[in-house]
Every structure is written in structure tokens, then in C-alpha cells.
């Protein structure tokens, strides 16, 4: 199988970090052209450093990391330190990574890379606020239709919100950017809370991962233990939703998920539903603007993570 050419736009972030570890470990399936970072869970300097830290743990120094937007398009920044810890990366010891950033203009890197590669060959995985993506599309609207697809973690329909009653964090943190991304003009697959709450870091799943003696598996297991403790504190639930890795898991093994065509819009007006994703399933194929994930095989996602991080 030809590897998927991939750019990962992220805000690590504990679950972004697991998504990166999974992607970095999938050398034969994914050709990672670059990682771009955005302010979100933590400020830009921390998310950019955290992506480089994870790259170092995964021993993939050849993959360039670019930082990008330091704040959302229009709204005020919202960080999520409660869930990711003060460093943004939970229990991972913070050191200055050996390899520096490749640059600080992530939107331009996204534009240049998509224009350089043949049309419809590059996939963009988005696991943070969509600010870099929206800025890239503003710089060069032609890149939208040149993309093979966008795979994004964001939004909520049946699950309700995780930052307000009806809004999911990534969309709420930059709703205007998410809406601009929906208008990109390429296929979009969206993994919101409806499915990420079906992929839980249950203790026995973490035990199995922790038994794998690789730096990637050890880091991912430590992160999951941290997230479980935070989740238990906040919601008294046993097992935290593993949000961002769903995007990478779907690229690696699509049959782990069920998706439905939908017309998705973001509430961008400031009010009680700010950042809400309105998901309309009653559409004909040509009215749909996205595939919306509704089902996930949680055990299967963990089996995949264990298989890849053992390598």
C-alpha cells in the first residue's frame, strides 16, 4: 500500500501527543510531511515544544515541526490546562528538545506542501483549533480542492459538549476557523465527542500498553494514567475519552469506525450555543459537506495502538 502523505496540525496536548506517537510509529503506512502546531490546549511556545518532545521520544528527528498561529482568528484564546497540566503535556518530563523548529509560519508550510505535492495526494489531520488551516486557506484557497481530505477531531452532536453544554473544545476555541475549514472544498471526516467517548482509556487497556517496553508505549501509557486521574477528578468516570488518536486510527484502519454523510455547520454567533456543531443527517449525498463519525470500536483502537507502539 502506498503510504498516506500526511500533515498533522495539532496543539499537544496529552491526547495530541498519543496521536503523534501513533502516527510516528506507523512508518510504513504514513508518510508524515510535517507537523504544525497551534495555540490551543496550551500557548504556542508550549505546544510547539511539546510536539518536538514527542518527536524526540519517537525518534523521528527528520520530520519537520513548524509553529503557527498564537491566537484564534477572532475570539479570545481559551486554554485547557485542567486536562493537560501546566506544561500542556501532562506527566511527560519537560526538557528542551535537541532539534529546533523548522520554522514559525505553519500556514505557509501547509500551503507550500500542498502545492508542491501532486493534487489529491495530501491528507491533513487536525487535532487542535483550526486556526492554522483557516489561515492557510485564506492565503491560498486553491489548496482546499487540492487536498485529498481533512480528518479532524472536533465537535459534538449526541454526546453534548465538553467545554460548554453543547460545544466541544476544538470548535469552541476557534469556531470561525472551523467553519472556514468546513468550506475548504475537499472531503472532510469529523471525529467528535460522539465517538471519542466510545474510545476510553480503561485501566486494563493502559496496563496492556504499559507492558510494552518501547519509549512510545511507555509515554502513551503514562499520559493515559494522567488523563484517567484528571477525568476521575472531574467526572468520577473510570476511563478518559481518547480524542485525537481517533483521526490517525481511522487513517490506519478505517473499519474501526462508522461514519455518516452530514451537513455540518458551526454556531459562530456569541451566545449560549457558541461553538456548537449543528449536524444534519437528513441530506442527499450532494448536500452533505462532511462525514460525521457515529461509531467506534474502542477495543480495536487500543489493539491498533498497542500493535504500532510495540514496533
Interface residue with Ca ion, options 13, 34, 144, 161 (CB under 5 A): 13
Cell triple for 155: 465537535
Asked if 85 interacts with Ca ion (CB under 5 A), we say no
Asked if 128 interacts with Ca ion (CB under 5 A), we say yes
Asked if 68 interacts with Ca ion (CB under 5 A), we say no
Q: CB 140 → ligand BDR: shortest distance, Å? A: 25
Kindly state the number of chain residues that form the binding site for ligand BDR, as judged by CB under 6 A: 15
Length of the chain as a residue count: 311
Give, as ranges, the residues between 41 and 100 that touch ligand BDR (CB under 6 A).
41, 80, 83
Partner in contact with 80, chosen from ligand BDR, Ca ion, none, beta carbon below 5 to 8 Å by kind: ligand BDR
- Report in angstroms the alpha-carbon separations of 138 from 147, 180, 225, 265: 15, 9, 40, 19
Q: How far apart are CA 131 and CA 115, in angstroms?
A: 19
Asked if 198 interacts with ligand BDR (CB under 6 A), we say no
**156 or 288, CB closer to ligand BDR?**
156
**Which residues are catalytically annotated?**
243
Interface residue with ligand BDR, options 174, 180, 231, 244 (CB under 6 A): 244
Q: Where are the alpha helices (DSSP H) in the chain?
A: 14-25, 44-57, 81-84, 106-116, 131-139, 143-146, 169-173, 175-182, 193-196, 203-210, 215-235, 245-252, 298-309
- Report in angstroms the alpha-carbon separations of 116 from 32, 106, 108, 138, 149: 14, 15, 12, 18, 16
Segment contacting ligand BDR (CB under 6 A): 25-33, 166-174, 176-184, 266-274? 166-174
Q: Indicate the DSSP class of residue 167.
A: B
**146 or 228, CB closer to ligand BDR?**
228
Q: CB 196 → ligand BDR: shortest distance, Å? A: 7
| CB neighbour list of residue 248: distance below 8 Å, 6 or more residues apart | 8, 19, 22, 23, 26, 30, 125
Asked if 16 interacts with Ca ion (CB under 5 A), we say yes
Query: What residue ranges bind ligand BDR (CB under 6 A)?
Result: 13, 15-16, 41, 80, 83, 127-128, 153, 162, 168-170, 243-244
Interface residue list for Ca ion (CB under 5 A): 11, 13, 16, 127-128, 244
Amino acid at each position: 500500500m502506498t503510504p498516506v502523505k500526511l500533515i498533522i496540525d495539532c496543539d499537544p496536548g496529552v491526547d495530541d501527543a498519543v496521536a503523534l506517537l501513533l502516527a510516528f510509529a506507523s512508518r510504513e503506512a504514513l508518510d508524515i510531511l510535517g507537523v504544525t502546531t497551534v495555540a490551543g490546549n496550551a500557548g504556542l511556545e508550549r505546544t510547539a515544544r511539546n510536539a518536538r518532545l514527542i518527536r524526540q521520544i519517537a525518534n523521528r528527528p527528520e520530520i519537520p515541526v513548524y509553529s503557527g498561529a498564537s491566537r484564534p482568528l477572532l475570539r479570545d484564546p481559551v486554554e485547557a490546562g485542567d486536562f493537560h497540566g501546566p506544561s500542556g503535556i501532562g506527566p511527560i518530563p519537560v526538557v528542551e528538545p535537541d532539534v529546533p523548529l523548522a520554522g514559525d509560519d505553519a500556514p505557509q508550510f501547509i500551503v507550500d506542501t500542498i502545492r508542491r505535492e501532486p493534487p489529491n495526494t495530501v491528507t491533513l489531520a487536525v487535532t487542535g483549533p483550526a486556526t492554522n488551516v483557516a489561515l492557510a486557506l485564506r492565503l491560498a484557497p486553491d489548496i482546499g480542492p487540492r487536498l485529498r481530505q481533512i480528518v479532524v477531531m472536533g465537535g459534538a452532536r449526541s454526546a453534548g459538549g465538553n467545554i460548554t453544554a453543547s460545544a466541544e473544545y476544538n470548535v469552541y476555541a476557534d469556531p470561525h476557523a472551523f467553519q472556514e475549514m468546513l468550506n475548504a472544498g475537499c472531503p472532510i471526516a469529523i471525529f467528535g465527542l460522539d465517538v471519542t467517548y466510545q474510545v476510553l482509556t480503561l485501566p486494563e487497556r493502559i496496563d496492556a500498553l504499559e507492558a510494552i517496553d518501547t519509549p512510545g508505549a511507555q509515554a502513551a501509557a503514562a499520559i493515559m494514567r494522567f488523563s484517567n486521574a484528571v477525568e476521575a477528578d472531574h467526572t468520577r468516570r473510570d476511563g478518559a475519552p481518547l480524542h485525537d488518536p481517533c483521526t490517525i486510527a481511522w487513517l490506519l484502519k478505517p473499519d474501526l469506525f462508522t461514519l455518516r454523510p452530514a451537513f455540518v455547520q458551526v454556531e459562530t454567533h456569541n451566545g449560549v450555543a457558541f461553538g456548537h456543531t449543528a449536524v444534519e443527517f437528513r441530506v442527499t449525498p450532494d448536500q452533505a459537506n462532511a462525514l460525521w463519525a457515529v461509531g467506534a470500536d474502542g477495543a480495536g483502537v487500543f489493539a491498533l495502538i498497542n500493535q504500532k507502539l510495540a514496533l
